[in-house]
Chain A
Amino acid sequence: MNDDRAARYRKLIRWYPSAWRARNGEAVVATLMDTDDAQGRVAPSLSDRRALIAGGLYERLLAPERLSAFGFGALICAVIFSVGYQGVITWAPGIQFEGTIGPFSNPSVIVSGMLVVALILALFTRGKTARFIALVSVAVITSIGLLSSLLLWLGPSLPTVVVFAGLSLLAASPLRSAGDVGRVAAAFVLVIVGIVLVEFVIAGQLPFALSPVGFAELLAAVVAFIGAFALLWPTVRTLRADSALA
């Protein structure tokens, strides 16, 4: 096999998850090259390229995947919290203020909607899409929280953002066992501890010096974040291997 030419074909199938490539990659590359040889081409046609891109994105985001019981449980918890938050905290028909959306006092209702959609998709075996939406919702709620604090909206507050983000992250993680759930949940708790400690430091900090207590709090916050990362690392590795097993 001409290695340079094969390498160019292998680049094209990188749109597919690594698990799919491990399973089918060489056969697909060989078929592409056989087809192009027969038609006197040295590279795939434009329509073949488009089909490979569409196929790869489908395998990454839309191909059927059943969530595990733990995955479903995490997603259901996220939906129950978010819907409860909207119903109890943000439901305020008639309120007129910057950052309100319809009868909801802050835009976190967007994230609740995303999580509900994710749950519906998961029920129809679209687990990959559901986890992707849950992952995107982490970025969305974080952005909404930042905007809220900058523009002085009626919420969501930092603790609410942290809970939303933590539950969404749990729902987005490939949870296969109670150990996975424990690790991600413990990482989430450590992140909360770290954020709280940082807030203490910011609140108590002297203008030009950090007190011994402040320094200890900052150090504890750093340790908490490193601990969270260490707990999440196996999940990150599973995610990477997961796209190899899709």
Chain B
Amino acid sequence: MSSEMREPTFWVLTVLTGGRRHGYALIEEARSLSGGRVNLKVATLYAALDRLGQQGWVALDGDEVVDGRLRRYFRLTDAGALQLESEVSRLEANARQARAQLADRRAVSLSPAF
């Protein structure tokens, strides 16, 4: 699969590579790993988790009640890990290509003009 992965999906899968997480932890860790760029809304997060669950990339990993609040845990499946690997490879290939083009441009701009 080579189609582009949406950013909330990318960060949800990335966070879950570190192990099972509940909703709030997913939001916080996505913000931290993205350097503050990605602020998942709760509605967006659960829509993504529903979709990822249907696709088989994420699975429920139990509920716990902490201080009267339900913590629902999610984990990354093998299929989800494969999809994330595929996306990371795509992004790396794109970044390498862009980096090479930028290096060529710098080389051209630094060469003396006659």
Contacts and interface: CB of A to CB of B under 8 A. Distances in A.
Contacts of A56: 43
A24 B41 CA distance: 15
A51 B27 contact: no
A55 B69 contact: no
Interface residues of B, number: 20
A66 B27 CA distance: 31
Nearest to B27: A35
Interface majority SS (helix, strand, loop, mixed), chain B: helix
A34 B69 contact: yes
Contact of A54 (B27, B28, B43): B43
A48 B50 CA distance: 18
B37 to A, nearest CB: 16
Of B45, B46, B67, B71, the most chain A CB neighbours within 10 A belong to: B46
B112 interface: no
A58 B47 contact: yes
B47 A52 contact: no
Interface string A91-112: 0000000000000000000000
A31 B68 contact: no
Contacts of A51: 41-44
Interface in A8-63: 24, 26-35, 38, 44, 47-48, 51-52, 54-56, 58
Interface of A: 1, 24, 26-35, 38, 44, 47-48, 51-52, 54-56, 58
